[in-house]
Homo-oligomer: A and B are copies of this chain.
Amino acid sequence: MTDVAADAAVVLFSGGQDSTTCLAWACARFRRVAAVTIDYGQRHRIELEAATRIARAAGVEHATLPCDSFSALGGNSLTGGEAVEETAVAGRLPNTFVPGRNLIFLTLAAAWGWQRGIPHLVTGVCQTDYSGYPDCRQETMDALQAALRAGLDQPPLTIHTPLMHLTKADTVRLLRDLGRLDWLALSHTCYNGAVPPCGHCPACHLRAKGFAEAGVADPLTA
A20 within 8 A of B: no
Contact (Cβ within 8 A) B100 A114: yes
Is there a chain B Cβ closer than 8 Å to A69's Cβ? Answer: yes
A147 in contact with B152 given A107-B107, A114-B99, A115-B75 (CB within 8 Å): no
Q: Does A208 contact B (CB under 8 A)?
A: no
**How many chain copies does the complex carry?**
2
With A69-B108, A99-B115 known to touch, is A144 a contact of B134 (CB < 8 Å)? no
| CB-CB under 8 A for A137 and B150, given A65-B69, A68-B68, A104-B104 | yes
Q: Mark A68-91, 1 if CB is under 8 A from B, else 0.
A: 110011010000000000000000
Q: Are B67 and A67 in contact (CB-based, < 8 A)?
A: yes
Contacts of A115 in B (CB 8 A): 73, 75, 99
Which positions in A face B, CB cutoff 8 Å?
A: 65-69, 72-73, 75, 93, 99-100, 102-104, 107-108, 110-112, 114-115, 134-135, 137, 139-140, 143-144, 146-153
Nearest first, the 10 closest Cβ-Cβ pairs linking A and B are A134-B153, A100-B111, A143-B147, A140-B150, A135-B151, A99-B111, A143-B146, A144-B147, A140-B151, A147-B147
